[in-house]
Amino acid sequence: MVKIAGSKKLKRQMAPLFWGITRKEKRFVVTVKPGTHGKNVSIPISVFLRDTLKIVTSLREAKSVIYSGKIKVDGVVRKSLHHGVGLMDVVELEGSNKTYRLVPQNGTLLKPIEIDDAEKTKKFVLVKAKTTVKNGKTQLGFHDGNTLLDDTQVSVGDTCVLQTPEIKILEIIKLEKGMNCLIIKGANAGKIGKIDEIKEGTFSIPKSIDITLDDRQIEIPARLVMPIGKDEPGIKIR
């Protein structure tokens, strides 16, 4: 039979730095299979348990935990070692009474922060696509791979507060002047600034944003920011 979706392993030297794995201990590491997040912006759930949280000491222990259905991502049980967890995903560990959200922090793409149970059904998602489908309905595509048929007035670049696992929009946070936004990639990942100006792009120049960040103003591509509201964000992100 032919292989489906490529190799299940990756050379450790080629793994993203934010995985936090050792580079010379062994040659290969479990990789991310196609799914909700891209390979370069997510962590395999087995690596997350073993190397990030360090709640298991080996891949064998990770298999036991995952295959027994003790791991939920955004309220859904995941039983694949290769399932990728990414930006704003909520990981719940049955039996430990601990829940984590993955956020950008201190220039690192993904870091887990512990959250209360009251927040585990909510997450921020970026609107990445908006298309019209059959019967004139509007389909929204989010950064975490989820899609939703919804007639809510929302634009690409806005943030939605989703209720999981039902995938229901609770609130819309517009990408507009005066909003606070979270930088999700790059050297400033994890920092929060205020939008001063939005510069519409052209065919060859991407849309950009002027942001006041740490008493200085920077210009950054719009795809690297996530609006989180005018005041304190409604959910814990740092």
Q: What is the pTM of this model?
A: 0.91
122-173: CATH class: mainly beta
- Candidates 65, 51, 63, 8; CA nearest to 31 is 8
| Torsion angle of C-alpha atoms 29, 35, 37, 38, degrees rounded to 10 | 60
Task: Answer yes or no: is pLDDT of 65 > 80.
Answer: yes
Q: Which helix (H) or strand (E) holds 45?
A: helix 45-47
The CATH fold assigned to 9-118 is 3.10.290
**C-alpha span between 208 and 231 (Å, rounded):** 22
pLDDT for 1: 47
**C-alpha span between 158 and 15 (Å, rounded):** 30
Q: Per residue in 6-48, pLDDT tens?
A: 678 888 888 888 888 888 878 889 999 888 898 889 999 999 9
Domains of the chain by residue range: 9-118, 122-173, 180-229
- In this structure, is the dihedral angle defined by the CA atoms of residues 114, 120, 122 and 123, taken in order, positive or negative? positive
**C-alpha span between 61 and 71 (Å, rounded):** 13
